[in-house]
Amino acid sequence: MTTTAKLTAVRDACLRFADAAAPFCYITDAEHYEMALELVESLFEEAEDSPVEPLNAVISMLSDAITEFESRDREMLAFEIEASAGSADLAMLRLLMDQHSLGMADLPEIGSKSMVSRVLSGDRSLSKKHIHGLSKRFGIDPGLFF
């Protein structure tokens, strides 16, 4: 195969790739965002752990598009701001409450609704007993609260 033929074949492959990857190069909606996350996860499993692995370039490209979408997504941005605004223990507690659709009355590990309210407002801190109970209930490492 001549050099010109090789270049033409690579150019054609790049054009086909660009056409297939277009919805993931600049993500504009939640559907393509979720698909991009699944695709990156799948590619991580396929890729070799090597600096010359071609899939790593594709993973990097997709990761950049995901990051760009997340930085534009208002709900995601609001969540990041809220999570980073407080202490790690409150951020983890709010995350657990959000992920599991829990209200203040749904956390017996902390106590009454008023106690949970005081913790969430910053008037009280989570104790070791609270953290141990929450870690056990949700199957997470207690270190995530620090």
Residue 19 lies in a domain: yes
Q: Is the pLDDT of residue 83 over 70?
A: no
* Comparison of pLDDT for 60 and 75, the residue scoring more: 60
Q: Is the pLDDT of residue 57 over 80?
A: yes
* Comparison of pLDDT for 121 and 134, the residue scoring more: 134
40 band by pLDDT with thresholds 50, 70 and 90: very high
106 band by pLDDT with thresholds 50, 70 and 90: very high
For residue 80, the model assigns a pLDDT of 74
CB 117 within 8 A of CB 93: no
Average pLDDT in the chain: 90
Residues 65 and 102 in one domain: no
Q: Which of 48, 72, 96 is the last residue of a domain?
A: 72
Token look-up 């993500």 returns: 27
Residue 78 lies in a domain: no
For residue 73, the model assigns a pLDDT of 76
Instruction: Kindly tell me the sign of the dihedral angle through the C-alpha atoms of 51, 56, 57, 61.
Output: negative
2 band by pLDDT with thresholds 50, 70 and 90: very high
Determine the average pLDDT of the residues in 47-55.
Answer: 88
Phi, psi torsion values for 20, nearest 5 degrees: -70, -35
Residues 66 and 93 in one domain: no
CATH number, domain at 106?
1.10.260.40
CB 65 within 8 A of CB 27: yes
Determine the average pLDDT of the residues in 122-143.
Answer: 93
Residues 58 and 104 in one domain: no
Residues 92 and 131 in one domain: yes
Residues 94 and 42 in one domain: no
Full residue range of the structural domain in which residue 16 is found: 3-72
Residues 63 and 110 in one domain: no
